[in-house]
Chains A and B, each alone.
Chain A
Amino acid sequence: MAARSKSAEKLSPLKVATFLMRPLSLMPLAPLQPLLAAALAVMRRQHPAVFERLDELGEPLFVIDPIDLPFIFAMRPAGLRPSLLAQREIDTDQATAIIRGPLPMLIDLLEGRLDGDALFFSRELSVEGDTEAVLVLRNAVDSDEINLFEDVLAILGPLAGPLRFAAEARNAVVTGWNAAR
């Protein structure tokens, strides 16, 4: 717990807002790590039932590969040391499964706005590795109403106000992307 609250402390709303407003592809990875760690921590706190559904997997490593970004996310959502890291590259042999798709689509999936099966049928999303593990992950994140930005904002408490603007801006971008498909 101590480690997690420490990562949260490193974040200032301004810093986060700066990141959110920048083109993601230009983002340096090191400063992103505390945000990701905090996001995972808050998700675990807000949605314990989601993570309970992941328990059956042991300690899986999901590689989330947003094809529109120059880096991947290495996510270990279950087990003793859950982690979420942004990395330039990774040894995919260690991955339980690799999930590829455009970032806005991956976020929509996480938040339950898009149907994973439909995306897969249309081949916008690709999955490699342990199909069953991906299914567990999909069913788990779908089992509760996850709102990534609300959840992450929640850790910032009263300081969250300035960030809403950033989140709304980002939502507008995503909505535009959805409409354009």
Chain B
Amino acid sequence: MNKSLTAKKLELVCPAGTPASLRAAVDAGADTVYLGFRDETNARNFPGLNFSRRELADGVAYAHDHNAKVLVAINTFPKAGDPEAWHQAVRDAEACGADAVILADIGLLAYTVEHHPKLRRHLSVQASASNKEAIRFYAREFDVKRVVLPRVLTVEEIAALNDNIPVETEVFVFGGLCVMAEGRCSLSSYVTGQSPNMNGVCSPASHVRYEEVGDQLVSKLGEFTINSFGEDEAAGYPTLCKGRFSVEGSVSYLFEDPTSLNAITMLDALMKAGVTALKIEGRQRGRAYVTQVVSAFRQAVDAASRGEAMPDLDMSLLTEGGQDTTGAYQKTWR
């Protein structure tokens, strides 16, 4: 099957960390909004963020009134012996009228298939399904309808994948960039005891300290120095894999520069690669970010669907370190 011949308009999937961000995303032209409950059941379990059950129900109503969909991310791995919070999250997502849940854990997928068969299931990036056989496995065993692809594949690999799998794909186009395969990274918990998989946080703020040392701004995570910025340098949050480290006497951003993914120039290629939906990262970012990024991508997606050139959109203020990259979509990144 060659999906590129029947390329449809790309669906724009946008983040909402709060009810105000949900309304901002919908107002700025999101086709779909994704969000999580205010607990450890989702991978952006940041302090003060996310939705109560009441807020979700209100958010679904607002989105549906504006022809937008709501996806609920329940994409951490349930605690052994105590999966109730995750089961409850699936139940409540369905009860609140969510259009789909985004899941990563195999046990939770099995639970959802058994107890909520009508609730549409998407596979979270945290499940790290990076090849056609892994994706077929999730489609066969749990009837997932869409897979969020790990940020490790090139556009060519994505195109090859889409020709060989029975489900929709969703890819990240903007925001924070994991350089490690998602869902398979224990760097954060090695330093802080808290991880994306188990606690829904990476390099948590509770373990972050900034110290002024002379004219340097030093950022620390737990007991480890992650970076040190000179007076005129743009600072960054000490996400472990975006730190500056020393290898054989030379100091560099060995894993990744302090940068954000921005694939806005590649929408046409992604559309031709058979991708169904584009995902914007940033549930932890403010609604100002949501408004600006969603508006820009709304224009870009509309232009791409009409075969027009990309509008000139500057989003450098919203990216980490004021830099961006197309990441793994281009092979040279590796």
Contact = CB atoms under 8 A, between A and B. Distances in A.
Consider the complex of A and B and state whether they touch directly, i.e. have CB atoms less than 8 Å apart: yes
Contact of A115 (B47, B48, B235, B286): B286
A158 B15 CA distance: 39
Contact of A139 (B48, B206, B319): B48
B48 A118 contact: no
A126 B209 CA distance: 12
Interface secondary structure of B, over-half rule: mixed
B321 A145 contact: no
B285 interface: yes
A118 B236 contact: no
B288 A121 contact: no
A127 B210 contact: yes
A137 B237 CA distance: 17
B309 interface: no
B209 A144 contact: no
A139 B285 CA distance: 8
B189 to A, nearest CB: 17
B48 A145 contact: no
B317 A54 contact: no
B210 A142 contact: no
Contacts of B286: 112, 114-117, 138, 142
A101 B284 CA distance: 21
A114 B288 contact: yes
Interface residues of B, number: 39
Interface residues of A, number: 31
A135 B205 contact: yes
Interface string B266-295: 000000000000000000111111001000
A131 B20 contact: no
Contacts of A131: 205-206, 208-210
A139 B210 contact: no
Nearest to B18: A143
A133 to B, nearest CB: 8
B49 interface: yes
A53 B48 contact: yes
A120 interface: yes
Contacts of A123: 217, 229, 233-235
Contacts of B237: 117, 120
Nearest to B24: A112
Interface of A: 49, 53-54, 56, 112-118, 120-123, 127-128, 131-140, 142-145
